[in-house]
Amino acid sequence: MIINFLGKLKTFFLFVLFVLTGVYLEKIGFFDYITDPYEYPYILRLLKQHIVMVAVSMFLATITGVVVGIILTRPKFSKYSGIVMYIVGLGQTIPSLAVLALSLSVLGIGFKPAVFALYIYSVLPIARNTLAGILSVPPEIKDAAKGTGFSNMRILFEIEIPYSMSVIITGFRVALVINIGTVALGYLIGAGGLGELIFTGISLMDTKMLLAGAIPTTLLALFGDFLCELASFILVPKGLRTSSKTN
């Protein structure tokens, strides 16, 4: 009974919060700002830049990450997996701003250096999860498959990959969320994106501009996260589906 009440209280509270936020945004001219015909195409353009940077870097990172992860599980290369994963682990510890800054000092300013930095930064979670996922396939299943005459290729594509899908998608999801946030920092090395609105808003103390950047970035990250949930639902074979909420 108390639980029911608390649940309803929470919903009510969220609703009030939502309405208050709307009123606040209206008061500071947020909605006027984003629908202003001079500003509106500019905001959309920054959003597009942002999405392009995310898409390009994630695409390259996924291909590289999955391939590297798979290669490291092949018997020929498995002795390197320890070292590679150690370096990979190290790389993950390096803060995103640092990677962007280093990219700037080597490659200069603009879109390409930013995408390069993002690419490097996003490969790591994907590679690590691919490796872990494939290694976690129970050897008995692989044995059974070999026994029934599966070629190594078939084992990879029909058993190992589907089995590790859930873990790989989690890696992708982690990389994606961090990627979207890091793209916002890309403004600092001249790459544009929604970060332009956020940082300019901070320096001018212009709240509506700041929120015009911060809110879409947040929504983008939440949306990306949600899409990964969906993808997980579609791509992970039914038999292996586990609740990934506490992952």
Partner 1 sequence: MKNLMKAFLVTAMLCVFISAPAMAAKKVVVGGKNYTEQYILAEMAKQLLEDAGFKVESKTGVGSVVARKSLVNGQIDLYYEYTGTAYTVFYKKKDTEIMTNPDKCYNWVKEADAKKGLVWLEPLNFNNTYTLMMRKEDAKSKNIKTISDLAKYIKENPGEINFGIDSEFYQRPDGFKKLMKTYDFRVGRNDIKLMSIGLTYMALKEKEVSSAMGFSTDGRISSFGFVNLVDNKNFFPVYNPAPVVRKEVLEKYPEIRDVLKPLTEKLTTKEIQKLNALVDIEHKDIKEAVSDWLKANNLI
Partner 2 sequence: MNKLLEYILENYNNIISLTWEHIFIVSIAMVFAVIIGVPAGIFITRYEVFAKKVINTANIFMTIPSIALFGIMLPLLSPFNLGLGKVPAIIALVLYSQLPIIRNTYVAIKNVDPAIVDAAKGTGLSRWRLLKEIEAPLAIPVIIAGVRTASVMSIGITAIAAYIGAGGLGVLIDQGINRYYTEMVVTGAIMVSILAIFVDAFMAALERISTPKGVILGRKLEK
Residues that bind partner 2 (CB under 8 A): 3, 10, 28, 90, 93-99, 101-102, 104-105, 177, 180-182, 184-185, 188-189, 195, 198-199, 201-202, 205, 207, 210-211, 213-215, 217-218, 221-222, 225, 245-246
User: In the complex, what is the shortest distance from the CB of residue 212 to partner 1, in angstroms, rounded to a whole number?
Assistant: 13
* Interacting span for partner 1 (CB under 8 A) from 41-49, 71-79, 87-95, 135-143: 41-49
User: In the complex, what is the shortest distance from the CB of residue 110 to partner 1, in angstroms, rounded to a whole number?
Assistant: 6
110 counts as binding partner 1 under rule CB under 8 A: yes
Rg (CA), the chain: 22
User: In the complex, what is the shortest distance from the CB of residue 161 to partner 2, in angstroms, rounded to a whole number?
Assistant: 27
7 counts as binding partner 1 under rule CB under 8 A: no
Give the distance, in angstroms, between the CA of residue 46 and the centroid of all CA atoms in the same chain: 19
User: In the complex, what is the shortest distance from the CB of residue 215 to partner 2, in angstroms, rounded to a whole number?
Assistant: 8
108 counts as binding partner 1 under rule CB under 8 A: yes
DSSP string for the chain: -HHHHHHHHHHHHHHHHHHHHHHHHHHTTHHHHHH-TTTHHHHHHHHHHHHHHHHHHHHHHHHHHHHHHHHHHSTTTHHHHHHHHHHHHHHHHS-HHHHHHHHHHHH-SSHHHHHHHHHHHHHHHHHHHHHHHHHTS-HHHHHHHHHTT--HHHHIIIIIHHHHHHHHHHHHHHHHHHHHHHHHHGGGGT--STHHHHHHHHHHT-HHHHHHHHHHHHHHHHHHHHHHHHHHHHHS-GGG----TT-
Q: Out of 8, 45, 74, 146, which residue is the one contacting partner 1 (CB under 8 A)?
A: 45
User: In the complex, what is the shortest distance from the CB of residue 187 to partner 1, in angstroms, rounded to a whole number?
Assistant: 7
Residue with smaller CB distance to partner 1, 110 or 162: 110
Q: Out of 119, 126, 196, 236, which residue is the one contacting partner 1 (CB under 8 A)?
A: 196
5 counts as binding partner 1 under rule CB under 8 A: no
**Which residues make up the interface to partner 1 (CB under 8 A)?**
38, 41-42, 45, 108-110, 187-190, 192, 196, 199-200, 202-206
